[in-house]
Amino acid sequence: MRIEWLLALRFLKEGRAQTFFMLGGVTMGVGVIVFLTALITGLQRSIIDKTLGTQAHVVMRMPDDEARRIIKPDSVRTVSANIERRAQRLSSILQWQQVMRELEKRTEVTAVSPLVAGPSFAIRGNATKSVALMGIDQEKYTRIVPMASFMKEGEFRISANDAAVGTDLARELGVTLGDKIRLQTADGRSETITVAGIFDVGIRDLNRRWVFITLRSAQNLLDLVGGVSSIDVTVRELFKAEVIGQQLARQTGLTAESWMKTNAQLMVGLKSQSASSYMIQFFVIISVAFGITSVLVVSVIQKSREVGILRAMGCSRRRIRNIFLLQGGLVGLVGSLLGSGLGTLLVTFFASTAKNPDGTPIFPVVLEPGMFLIAAGVATVTGILAAAAPAVRAAKLDPVVAIRNV
């Protein structure tokens, strides 16, 4: 063991009460940071999971139809025109299969799924309900939205006859598994499907409106033969969805709408929550640093005689400085380990006491190894920085004065 380490450890061991208070401060501080981070990460992730459980990260669509000018203004002619907006008909993405292949090639994209979505009526007996047809490729779509996990009855099996509806629609139409529903669109096309599965995605509106059928059935019903209305995309990094979406839009000439834009309010909420959490963490770190500094300043004064003796025996100023920096760093590191343990205990206890009626925790907590590493790193660096002023002071001690002050 190097002599600096030996001296730093021994000084810490000797100044038991001081070391205890410094360690206590760091432990509390890191504990609070771990607790807060785990809780806020958990909460945010659960909110995002709930929001994105039924959404693609990016949805690619054809740009809106726009009215084209026939007479254009030029230098000799002024055109006064009232341009009416065009009604947006359901249009297919051009060469969507090729677009899909291009999207699938990108490394940041994890899943791509075609969708034919449009309005229809679901009719059974006297009941008619307005629904949203969701024509999908089952295998591809379930990679975007894990429908199998939402099933209440039956299974998510979409084929020529089999379809899936939400719990609310099933209740309103009075259907159960195996019952038939007629789907009819505004222009009179219709098809009959059999209910093979009933799902609950946790959002009543969707449970009431979504009807999953095959891509081909939806294409027939919505008069979009061979086409798709949108392409759903999931990306590897959730929070890069907007940036990647814009890149995809430029690449394909389609419009891209990311979940971040669709849920702009949520994003603002998440960001301000993170900001306030960072703020608290920052002030916790500052107060821990002040704690370490003030204890070490006292320790330097108490140890000035030892410092003087060491200097007389040939210990360089740099070495004296390092001894005190090491003490700060060691307190930071050990305190962060204890604090990580404390934070984990607290957050686990908190999560285990606050539970929903179904036994799931109200506050889902996320403890990631990365967070502990960052906490350890930040605490160690904080410890060293906090020790800087006392360490420099110790290094500057005049050995003659230090030795004389018995």
Partner 1 sequence: MSDMNNILQLSDVRKVYGNDGITTEVLHGIDLTLQRGEFTALIGPSGSGKSTLLNIIGLLEQPTSGVIRVQGQETGTLADEELTRLRGRSIGFVFQFHHLIPAFTALENVMMPLMLEAGRPTPQQRERATALLTRVGLADRLDFKPAKLSGGQQQRVAIARALAADPPLILADEPTGNLDTAAADEIFKLLYEVNQESGTTFLIITHDPRLAHRCRRVVELVDGRIVG
Q: Residue numbers of the site for partner 1 (CB under 8 A)?
A: 1-3, 6, 10-11, 13-14, 305-306, 308-319, 399-400, 403, 406
Minimum distance from residue 8 beta carbon to partner 1 (Å): 11
Minimum distance from residue 300 beta carbon to partner 1 (Å): 15
Task: Kindly tell me which of 11 and 210 has the beta carbon lying closer to partner 1.
Answer: 11
Cα angle vertex 121, ends 117, 122, to 5°? 105
Minimum distance from residue 4 beta carbon to partner 1 (Å): 8
Minimum distance from residue 398 beta carbon to partner 1 (Å): 8
Task: Kindly tell me which of 3 and 362 has the beta carbon lying closer to partner 1.
Answer: 3
How many Å separate Cα 82 from the centre of its chain? 46
Minimum distance from residue 288 beta carbon to partner 1 (Å): 25
Task: Kindly tell me which of 182 and 319 has the beta carbon lying closer to partner 1.
Answer: 319
Task: Kindly tell me which of 7 and 334 has the beta carbon lying closer to partner 1.
Answer: 7
Minimum distance from residue 27 beta carbon to partner 1 (Å): 23
Task: Kindly tell me which of 206 and 394 has the beta carbon lying closer to partner 1.
Answer: 394
Q: Directed axis angle between helix 16-52 and helix 317-353, to 10°?
A: 50
Non-local (6+) Cβ contacts of 141 within 8 A are 113, 115, 147, 212, 232
Task: Kindly tell me which of 117 and 310 has the beta carbon lying closer to partner 1.
Answer: 310
